[in-house]
Structure 1
Amino acid sequence: MTTKGQLMQDMHTGQQVPADFDAWRRERWDEIAGPNGKAKVVAKGMISGSSVQMLPGIPGEWSTDAAGALTVTASAADGVTVGETLVDGTVVVPSGSALGFSGGRAGMAGGANGAYGVVVTDPREVERLGLSGIDSYAYDPAWVFEGYYRAAAAGRQIEVERLTSPPSTDRILGPLDLVVTIDGVEYVLTVLEEQPGQRLVVFTDETSGNETPGIGRWLTLPDAVPGEPLVIDFNKATLSYHHLQATVFTCPLSPEGNHLPLRITAGERSLVFDVRAKAVTYLRHLENRDWDAARAMCTAAATVWHNDGKGDESIDANISGMQAQIGAIESMRYDVQRQLAAGDEVLQQHVVHVATKDGRRGEVHAAVYFRFDGGLISRIEEYANFVPAE
C-alpha cells in the first residue's frame, strides 16, 4: 500500500519509485491487511503431547491422541466448528482443517506427528484496530547496496530476547551472516532462520527509539549461496508483526552486534491508525448493541468517566450498565458533529438520538474524550446533557 503521506514524500524528494518497489509496497500492505493479513490474526498457539492444553484466546481444550493426531474438546456452547461440524465432545482435527469460532472468527490447524499449530483470525480486526496505512521514509536508491552471505559455523544458534511478557530468551538458528558495505564501511549482521528457508535480519540503527521503533526493524532476504552477490535494499526494511498484535506475535529482538551506528533513513517507520474512525466504530458497535465488539476495542484496564458524580468506572461496568438499560430503548443513533485528533487522543462532539419503546424521544448532547493505547481505547470521558424532544 502507498499511503497519502508516502506519496507526498516521494513527490517532494522527486525520486522516481521503481515499478517493482511500488508492487512490493502493495504486496506488503496485502500481507498486513489483505484477506489473510497478519493484522487479522487475533490468537495462535502450539500443541504438542497428550496433556490437555488451553490456548489463550482460543476456546476448547486441545491435545493429541495416541496416534499423534490433533484433538479438540468443546461443548456446543463454545461455538467451535471443524469443517462444517459443530464440536460437542471430542473430535479429531485433521491437519489443514478449517476451524470456526463464535463472533465470525475463523481458524486453521496445521502440523503432523504430535506437533500442531492453531491460528485464529477475525475479519473485523483491521477495522477494530483502525489500521489505515504504513508510514515510511521516501524511497531513496542511495539505500540499495550489494552484499553477500558468509557461512557461519555449522549448527550455530543465536540467543535472542523475545517480546513475551515478561521478556524471555530463545535460541534461534543463525546459519549465515550478512556482509554489506555502507559508505565504505563493512558491516556484518547475523541472519536468523526461525522458519526453514526464512532469511531474516533484525537490526537497530540510530533512528531506533525515536524515528523508528526501539525494538528494531526487519530485512527479509532471499535464499542464496554464500559469497554470491545479493541486493540489500533498506527501502524494504519493515516493522515486525509485534506492532499489530503484541500478545500474538512475540517476535525476536535484534541479536547482539546487529546495530548499525548510522541513521538508516529508509524503510517503514510506523503503522498508521485512524483514531477518529476508531472512535466512531466504537459508537456504531454500541448502536448495534454489539457489546462484545465494543469491549474488544478497549484495553483490559480501560476506564470511563461521566459528569454524573459517580467517578470512574471500568469499561466492563460501563458496558454492563448500558446493557441493563437497553431493554427500554427502541433505537439510538450517534450523530457525530465534529472531531479533533492529536496523536492518540480524540475529542468529539456528538448528539445521541434516542427513541424509547414507550414512545418518548430525546437527544443526548455530549462532548467526549477518547484516549488510545496501542490502538485500543484506554480512557473515555463524557460530558453529557439529556434534552427531551419538544
Structure 2
Amino acid sequence: MSTHTETARETFEQDWQDWHDAHERHRAGPHGFLAVTHLHWLSSEATRLEGTPGTWSADDDVVRVVLEPGESLERDGVQLSGSIALGPIAERGGINLVSGDTVIEVAKRGGEYIVRPRNPENTLLQEYQGTPTYAPNAAFAVEGTFVPFDQPRATTVGAAVEGIQHVYEAPGEIRFKLAGEELALTAFNGYAPGSLSVLFTDQTSGKTTYAANRSLSVTPAADGTVQLDFNRAVNLPCAYTDLATCPLPPAENRLPVAIEAGEKIPYERQDQK
C-alpha cells in the first residue's frame, strides 16, 4: 500500500470516528431519546399521565393541561400554572415543557397528539453502552446522483408502532451503483435546508443490523451529485425503545445487497433479532 493510499485510509477512518463519537454524544444526551420514560397518546378525556404533572387531553387540535395547585410546568423559561392550552402543533413537530429534571415532549405523530417525558435517570440511558458498528470501509462510500421527480410525491409509510402512518414528501430518488448493482433510493426532505433523508433496509437487516430501518442523511451538490457514505448509516430511536413512532422505509428502499457498514443492532435489542 502506498503512503498516499494509507494516509487517505487513515484520514477516512479518523473522520468517521470523529463523526461517530459526536453522534454517540448527541444520542446519549440527558434529554435525548434514550431518556424517554413513557409514550402517552392523548384523547378528549382528561387523564393523569405517569411521569408528568396535571391532567391532559387533546381535542380540536389543541392540547389542554390542567395543573393542580402546587403543580407547575415551564416553557421557554416561563412558569405555567392552572389551565394551559397548547397547539396546534404541526405533524412531526413538537414543543418541550420542563418539570423538575424532566423534559416533557408534546408532539404530533400520525395525526395524533402524544406526550413523552424524558428523564436523565431513565434506565435505558443510564445503562447505555454505545452502539456497535461495522469497521469503517471506504468501499461503502459511493457517489450517486439525485434525480428529482417531475413533482414531489406524497409517500405514505408505516410506523414502528401499529395504528399510525407517516406521510412524507419525496422530492426525488438517488441513483447509485454498489456491489455491481444499479440501485435507487427514494429520498425524503431532511431537517436541514437542502438535505435529504433516506430510510432503507438491506440484506443485513434482521441479521446484523436492525430489522425495521436505518437512516442516512445526505446533501446533494448543485449538479445533483450525492456522496452516499453508508458507514454513516444510523439507527432510528425505535431500534432502542418501543416508545418511538419511527417511520418505516418505503417498499422500494429495500435494497437487494448487503450494506455491511454503519450501525448494527443495538446491544439492547440483540436478543430480539
For this structure pair, what is the TM-score category when the shorter chain's length is used for normalisation?
0.7 to 0.9
User: How many positions carry a matched residue from both structures?
Assistant: 251
Partner residue in 2 for 1:90: 83
1:192 matched to 2:201? The reply is: no
Q: TM-score, normalised by structure 1?
A: 0.54
CA distance in 2, matches of 1:171, 1:208: 23
Letter in 2 for 1:187: L
CA distance in 2, matches of 1:55, 1:252: 28
Highest RCO, 1 vs 2 (Cα 8 Å, sep ≥ 6): 2
CA distance in 2, matches of 1:97, 1:253: 24
Aligned partner of residue 188 in structure 1, secondary structure: strand
1:221 matched to 2:224? The reply is: no
Q: TM-score, normalised by structure 2?
A: 0.74
Report the Cα offset of residue 43 of structure 1: 4.8
The correspondence of residues 237-252 of structure 1 with structure 2, limited to 5 A, is 237-247=233-243, 249-252=244-247
Partner residue in 2 for 1:169: 165
**Which stretch of structure 1 is more off in the superposition, 23-32 or 120-129?**
120-129
1:21 matched to 2:16? The reply is: yes
Inter-CA distance 141–232: structure 2 relative to 1 (3 Å threshold) = same
1:234 matched to 2:226? The reply is: no
Of 107, 120, 124, which aligns to 2:117? 120
Aligned partner of residue 263 in structure 1, secondary structure: coil
Q: 8 Å contact 1:76–1:86 — kept in the other structure?
A: no
Q: Which runs of 5+ in 1 are unaligned?
A: 1-14, 276-342, 345-372, 375-390
Q: 8 Å contact 2:58–2:113 — kept in the other structure?
A: no
1:256 matched to 2:254? The reply is: no
Of 263, 269, 273, which aligns to 2:264? 269
Inter-CA distance 143–97: structure 2 relative to 1 (3 Å threshold) = closer
The correspondence of residues 1-390 of structure 1 with structure 2, limited to 5 A, is 16=10, 17-43=12-38, 57=50, 58-59=52-53, 60-62=55-57, 71-76=64-69, 79-82=71-74, 83=77, 85=79, 87=81, 89-91=82-84, 99-101=97-99, 104-107=101-104, 120-125=117-122, 130-164=127-161, 166-193=162-189, 197=193, 199-222=196-219, 224-225=221-222, 227-247=223-243, 249-273=244-268
Inter-CA distance 42–80: structure 2 relative to 1 (3 Å threshold) = farther
Q: Which runs of 5+ in 2 are unaligned?
A: 1-8
Alpha-carbon RMSD = 3.8
CA distance in 1, matches of 2:267, 2:124: 12
